[in-house]
Amino acid sequence: MGTPYRIVPLLLAAASLAVLPACAQQPPQPDWCKSKWGAGDEVGAGNLMTSELALSASKLIKTGKTYRLGVETNAKTPAYGPRSWALVINQPGQVGGVGLGPTKTNYNDDIYMGYVGTGTQIDGMGHIGVDNVYYNCNKNSEFVQANGLTKLGIEKVPAIVTRGVVLDMTAYYGQNPVAEGTAYNRKEIDEQAQRQGVEIRKGDVVLFYSGWLSLVGKDDKRYIGGEPGVGKEGAEYLASKQVVAVGADTWGVEAIPFEKGVGIFEIHQILIPKNGIYILENVDTAELVKDKAWEFMFVLGASRFTGGVQAIVNPIAIR
């Protein structure tokens, strides 16, 4: 005999219940990670870059003076955690100083070995996550591979050409360098911007000067042991302004020791995975501040290493 008709619905219900535990293991996507630029977006606030912003920034050029914002980097450069840096120079096929061919051509090549997160750098969308969820709801297990990210790679970062603003926090606090653990929040950001006669606009790159880089080579232990920087409220405020990047003359941009109640590198989490805003670290703005060049044309092109997380950069300011 076949299965009685009335038993079939019971079997179907049991089968449905059997798959519920598997479904329950897949938590819903958190709202914070969804990009306003669409489910497939990988560049975050880079979407703000337009020809109009570039043209507007070019109108800030009055003298044509250029500023290199990248620091000189070498094996002695202090860096976070286990990061190290080494450079090897070789002369392929020229053992003993033998030149190549009848014209005795010589050439040097270099091999870089170390962490890209050393010196002046840009943190890409694949750098920081929250409980293994990254920008635009990309999960660690789905895109992080030992030989490179399959999404959110540094090669996706667009050319950043826009208005740059630097805020002199040494003038605000009357300290140079500003003390470690000092947090810049909305009040401090707004008041210093007002003092300098500038405003923060959509699509800007906002840089903070604290004098912290002056410690490098003089007191590396203090330099890497903490730093002044953006606070939690300040990060949320800058995100509300829709800036494209936030940077500082420090190795981590945010205030360390962290503010009371603020998690480990939570400002990184607010800026990158939650808002798609790039972070620029160890940006040398001392000369800009010396010249009181509070706003300028900012130009950055990150090296396009496929699947990379960060890039060593030398941004240029033009005023």
Specify the pLDDT at position 30.
Answer: 81
The DSSP-derived string for 60-89 is T-SS--EEE-PPP--TT---STT--EEEEE
User: Domain extents for the chain?
Assistant: 31-79+116-318
Question: Rounded to whole angstroms, how far apart are CA atoms 85 and 79?
Answer: 9
pLDDT tens digits for range 242-251: 999 999 999 9
Name the strand (E) or helix (H) holding 223.
Answer: helix 220-225
Structure tokens at 142: 């789905």
pLDDT bracket for residue 17 (50, 70, 90): very low
Residues 6+ apart with CB under 8 A from 117: 79, 80, 83, 123, 281, 309, 310
Give, as one character, the DSSP assignment of residue 151.
Answer: S
Give, as one character, the DSSP assignment of residue 12.
Answer: H
Confidence (pTM): 0.89
Specify the pLDDT at position 26.
Answer: 54
What would the mean pLDDT of 224-239 be, rounded to a whole number? 98
If you search the block for the tokens 């140079």, which residue do you land on? 176
What would the CATH number be for the domain defined by 31-79+116-318? 3.50.30.50
What is the percent of the chain with per-residue pLDDT over 70, rounded to a whole number?
Answer: 91
pLDDT above 50 (res 21): no
pLDDT bracket for residue 172 (50, 70, 90): very high
pLDDT bracket for residue 13 (50, 70, 90): very low
Contact 160, 49 (CB under 8 A): yes
Identify the burial level of 33 via C-beta atoms within 10 angstroms of its C-beta, where 0-12 means exposed, 13-18 middle and 19 or more buried: middle
Question: Rounded to whole angstroms, how far apart are CA atoms 271 and 92?
Answer: 44
